[in-house]
Amino acid sequence: MNKTNKTLWSRFSQFVAWCTQQFLDAVAAISGFYYSHKYAAIARRLGYSQAVQGPPKRGFIIIQIDGLSHQHLLEVMAEGDVPHLARMVRRGWGKLMRWRCGLPSTTPASQAGIMFGSNYDIPAFRWYEKETQVSTVCKLPGAVRSLQDRISRGRQGILQGGSSHVNLFDGGAASSLFTMSGMNRVRLFEGVRGIGLLVLFALNPFRSIRVVALSIWEYLVSSFQSLKDRLTPGTPAPSQRFFALLRILDNVIFRELQTFVVMLDIYKGVPSVYTTYYGYDELAHQYGPRSRPAMRSLHGIDKRIRQIDRLCRAGLGREYDLYILSDHGMTSAIPFTEAYGESLGEFVARLPKEGVAVSEQWGHEQQSSHEAQYLLEELQSIEENLAEPLAKIARRTRRLISRRIASDFDQELPDWDLLRRSDVVVRSSGSLAHLYFNVTSRQMDVSEIASLYADLMVKLATHSGIWLVVGREGEQVVIASARGILTLDDQQQIVEGENPLGILPEPEIAAAQILRLAHFPHSGDLILLGEYALETEEVICFEQQYACHGGLGGPQDYPFMICPSEIEMDLEDVTNSEQLHDHFVRTYLREELVPSEPQPERGGIALI
C-alpha cells in the first residue's frame, strides 16, 4: 500500500470512528432522555421526587450474585451464559478480580464484613450459644436483627443515606426493603406509595405480561425438571416441598421487583444501593453449581444487571460506580447422609459406648423461604390498604401461600426440653459443623472432651467423610485429620505427620482463618469440616445439598468482584470480607472512619 492510499485509509478510519462516536453519543442521549422520562413518570406516580439537585458526589451500586465463585464465573463467561458480564470485562468497562471471603464462607459473615467491617463471632450460618442454650440461625428475622445490632455497634455502615434491597443486613441504609434485619419494621406496601408500585405493574401491560409469562414458564420448567429427577435415579433433586412455587418467587417475582426498585433508586439519585440476587445460589444448592437450572437463573440475573448497568450509564443526574460481586463461592458436594446412610448427628450419637443424646440441626439456607415470608407480610399490608372486593384477592393469595409453603422458620427454633437434656449439640452449615458439649456452659479444651469421650476425636478424624477436626487446648488450636495433626497459635505451627492443610493452595492463609474461627466465643467445642477431594473438587456436605459453602476447599473459598476499571483496587491480599469495608467508606462517604471497638483478645492472642 503506497503513501497516498495509507493517508486515505487513515482519513477513512478516522471518519468511521467519528461517525461511530456520534452514533453512540446519540444513542446515549436518546436512552438518557428515555430513561429520564420513564422513571420521572414512575416517580411522579409513586409520589417520589428526584433527590439529586445540582452536582452530587459520585454514588455506588453493589449487586451481589449469591454463591457464584470466581472460577465458575470464568467458565460461564467463556460459554456465553452471562453475555453482559463478559462484555463488561472484555470491553474494559470493569475489571474482574478474585478475592478470599474468609472462614466461614457464608452470606452472614461476608455481608457483615462488607457492610460494617466486622464479622466477629459469626461462626457459621447456624450455631449454638451454650451459656443461654439458644440456637441462632441467620434466617430468623429476630436473630439477624440482633446480630446486626451487635456487629454495627461503633461502626459505620457503607449504605448510610442509601438503600438495601433483599439482603440479610441493611448496612445502615435509610431505606431497607425485603431485608432480613429490617423485617417487620417497614413494609413496602404499607402506604399509598407502596400500593402505587403495585398499581404501576398493572398499568404497565408489558411488565405485567412478562411477569406472568415468566412465572408460568418457571413453573413448567420446574415441573419438568422434577419429573426428570424422579425418572432418573441418582439425580440431585430438591428436598423442599413446593419448590416450584419458591422458584417462581425467587427467579421471577422478587428478581423483577428488586430490579425495578433499584432502577427507581438510580433515578432518584440515591447515594448507595446494595441488592442481592439469590436465585443462582438456591438452585446450585439443589442441583450443582454448573447445572442447567443454575445456569438458567444466572442468565436471567445477567439480563437484570444489564438493565441496571444501562440505566447507570444514562446519566440521569448522579454518576454511579457499579460493583458486581459474590459473597462466597460454591463447591460441588456429596451429602453426608447419602454417602454414609446416616446424618452427622446420628454418627456422633453412636460413637461413645454408652451412647449420648444428640440435638442436631441443619436445614435449608435458601432465601426463597425468607422471601415467601416477606411476601406474606406484604400481602397483609395490601389487604389492609385495599377496599373490598380487591382486598379479597390479596387475602386469598396470602392464605394460599401460607397453606402451601412449608415454612421452616418455626422448625429452626430450639426444642428447649431436648436441648437441656442433650449431651451433644450439632449445628451444621454446609461443609462446616460445630459440636457443643452441654456438660458446661463454657468452651471445652480437647483434653477435657477426651476425659468424657476418650476416643471421640480419633473416630471423628478417621471418618472418611470428615476432613478436619478442630479443637482448642489452652491458647493453642489443634487441627487433626487422618493423615496428621497441626498445632498452632499466633507464634508458631507444629506439624505431626502430614500437614492437614497441605492439600490447599494457600495453607498458611487457611491456618490463620481456622485459628480466628476457633477463638470465636460461640464456635463449637469441636469444629468439623467435610472431606475435600482435591482431584474432583468435591466436599462432603453435612446438609442435603449438592453444592455447598461454609467451610474450606475448592471454589467456595474464592468469590469474585467486578469493579469499574478506573477504580484503583487490588484484592490480591484480601483474606476476609471485612477488608472491603474501608474502601467503600473512604471512597464514597468521604469521612474519617468511625473508630471501631477493639476486637477482644483471648490469652494474648490477637484475633486476626
H or E stretch including 60? strand 59-65
Query: What is the radius of gyration, based on Cα positions, of the chain?
Result: 26
pLDDT at 536: 92
pLDDT at 193: 47
pLDDT at 240: 53
Quickly list DSSP for 545-565.
Answer: -SEE-SSSSGGGG-BEEEEET
Higher pLDDT, 518 or 176: 518
Q: Which of 472, 477, 478 is nearest to 445 (CA)?
A: 472
8-state DSSP, 57: P
233 band by pLDDT with thresholds 50, 70 and 90? low
Q: What integer is the mean pLDDT of 190-208? A: 53
CA 41/CA 47 separation, integer angstroms? 10
**Across the strands, what pairs with 193?**
none
Cβ atoms of 525 and 471 closer than 8 Å: yes
User: Residue 79 pLDDT > 70, yes or no?
Assistant: yes
pLDDT at 381: 59
Higher pLDDT, 355 or 464: 464
pLDDT tens-place string over residues 256-267: 888 988 988 998
C-alpha cell of 385? Answer: 390498604
**Across the strands, what pairs with 496?**
485
CA 546/CA 526 separation, integer angstroms? 24
pLDDT at 264: 86
Q: Which of 549, 344, 525 is nearest to 451 (CA)?
A: 525
CA 517/CA 528 separation, integer angstroms? 12
Q: What integer is the mean pLDDT of 480-490? A: 92
Q: What integer is the mean pLDDT of 471-486? A: 94
pLDDT at 142: 83
Longest dimension (CA), the chain: 96
Q: Which domains does the chain have, with CATH numbers?
A: 47-118+155-330+368-407+560-593 (3.40.720), 336-363+418-548 (no CATH)
Q: In what order do the strands lie in the sheet with 331-335?
A: 532-533, 538-541, 331-335, 547-548
Choice among 318-332, 341-355, 415-429 with the minimum mean pLDDT: 415-429
User: Residue 343 pLDDT > 60, yes or no?
Assistant: yes
pLDDT tens-place string over residues 22-50: 554 444 444 444 444 555 555 555 555 55
pLDDT tens-place string over residues 114-161: 999 999 999 999 999 999 888 898 888 888 999 999 999 989 999 999
pLDDT at 385: 60
CA 321/CA 218 separation, integer angstroms? 32
Q: What integer is the mean pLDDT of 401-421? A: 44
SS3 435: strand
The dihedral formed by the CA atoms of 543, 549, 554 and 555, expressed in degrees to the nearest 10: 140
pLDDT at 268: 86
C-alpha cell of 387? Answer: 377496599
CA 301/CA 177 separation, integer angstroms? 19
CA 54/CA 317 separation, integer angstroms? 8
Burial readout 75-114 (b: 16 or more C-beta within 10 A, e: otherwise): ebbeeebbebbbebbeeebbebbbbbbbbbbbbbbbbbbb
CB-based contacts of 566, cutoff 8 Å, min separation 6: none
Q: What is the average pLDDT score of the chain? A: 80
CA 88/CA 246 separation, integer angstroms? 31
pLDDT tens-place string over residues 286-336: 889 999 889 999 999 999 999 999 998 887 778 999 999 999 999 999 999
pLDDT tens-place string over residues 386-403: 566 656 655 665 665 565
Cβ atoms of 147 and 136 closer than 8 Å: yes
User: Residue 171 pLDDT > 60, yes or no?
Assistant: yes
